[in-house]
Amino acid sequence: MHRLFEGMILGACVMLAGLPTTATAGGDVACQLSFQLSGWSVFYKESSGSGTIKCSNGQSMAVKLEAKGGGLTFGKSTIDDGRGEFSGVSDISELIGSYASAEAHAGAVKSAKAQVVTKGEVSLALSGTGRGWDVGVAFGNFIISRQ
C-alpha cells in the first residue's frame, strides 16, 4: 500500500508540473504554512481548515484553507499537524488565491498526505499526518484566503 501511495503522489506531481504558468514570483522570501485540515470525499472531495503562514522577512498571516475537486476518491480524514513550504516570493500577499491541485491519498486509521499545488510560478508542497480513512486520486482547487 505504501508503494502504491508513493506512485500516486509521484503521478500527481508530474501532472502538476505540466500545468501552464503565468505569474512571475520567485523572490527571496521563504514562507512556511502550518495548518489543520479535515474533509470528506465520495467522488467529490471537500476539505476545510485553517493555518498560519510565516515568512523569513517577519511577515505572518492567519489563513483559511479550502480544497475542492473531483476524481476517484472516497473517505474522511483529518490532518492535525500539516506543514507546507512555498516557493520563493517577494511578499506574503502573493500567497493568497486559488492553486491548482492534484492529489493522491491513502490511509486507514492513521493517515498520511502529501500534495503539491501551484498558482502560476508559486508552488506549495504540503505534507501532514492525521487520522481517518481515505483512498483515491483527486483534482481541483486548493484555496488560501485571509482569515
- Domains held by the chain: number: 1
Which cell numbers hold the place of 66?
Answer: 479550502
Domain containing 110 equals: 2-146
**pLDDT tens, position by position, 97-132:** 999 987 776 667 676 677 889 999 899 999 888 888
d(CA 6, CA 108): 16
With a CB cutoff of 8 Å and minimum separation 6, the contacts of 142 are 65, 66, 67, 98, 99, 100, 101, 115, 117, 124, 126
pTM over 0.85: no
Are 51 and 67 contacting, i.e. CB atoms less than 8 angstroms apart? no
